[in-house]
Amino acid sequence: MISLLRAADYPRMPWKNGAGTTLEITRDAGAGLDGFGWRLSIADVGESGGFSAFTGYQRIITVLEGAGMRLHVDGVDSRPLLPLDPFAFSGDSRVECTLLAGAIRDFNLIYAPQRYDARLQWLRVDGEQRLFGSAGVWLLFSCGEGLRASLDGHDCGVLGRHDCLQVEGIDGLAELCLEADGPVNCCLIELSARA
């Protein structure tokens, strides 16, 4: 199954702690803020403060827009998290966020590590780039306009800013071809169900 998800269609949801809102890009299952195996979202963070807890989950967060932030995770300060610099932490952790210079927008992968193995990598596509993988789910998130994608030679469409290509049901090794006429940053996430 191949789905091209458009940023304009993402539903807005309140945070668990009520302190902000999230645009939900996609998830595997469940309703509300529970029951999913993995979930991809964009959050608007207008002020420093606490993060919601997601007990039993692993999180990887990346600043998309704004100067950046620093996280205080279980009493330990992170490095300054600047745009497109991913940072992983446990959903069980107590997390406080300090904005470096004003509001930010961040990109979040939350997944259940007992159910899925995950790989997240940020790429800069300028011209053509070919990638190979065999994960059951691929999520390709674009930070720019005009990112063209094809899977095993089949055209998957053109991604605009914050659009996401979702591919499921890959059987064996597959080739993802990405093309852009100028530099476009994107994130490729591969999720494999654990046996």
Q: What is the mean pLDDT of residues 137-146?
A: 97
Architecture of the CATH domain 9-111? Sandwich (2.60)
Chain-centre distance of CA 167, in angstroms? 14
DSSP 144: S
Query: What confidence tens digit (pLDDT) does each residue in 82-122 have?
Result: 999 999 999 999 999 999 999 999 999 999 999 999 999 99
**Worst-scoring range by mean pLDDT, 12-16, 130-134, 140-144?**
12-16
Q: How far is CA 114 from CA 56, 110, 187, in A?
A: 8, 12, 23
Q: What is the pLDDT of residue 142?
A: 98
Per-residue model confidence (pLDDT) at position 21? 78
**H/E run at residue 113:** none
Domain with CATH 2.60.120.10 in the chain: 9-111, 116-193
Res 31: pLDDT: 64
CATH 3.40.50.300, applies to 116-193:
no
pLDDT of residue 52: 83
* Sign of the four-CA dihedral 161, 139, 22, 62: negative
3-state secondary structure of 174: strand
pLDDT above 90 covers a percentage of the chain that reads: 81
pLDDT single digits (tens) 4-42: 999 999 998 877 666 677 899 999 986 666 678 999 999
User: What pLDDT, in 10s, does the model give residues 35-75?
Assistant: 789 999 999 988 888 888 889 999 999 999 999 999 999 99
Dist. CA 99–CA 161, nearest whole Å: 24
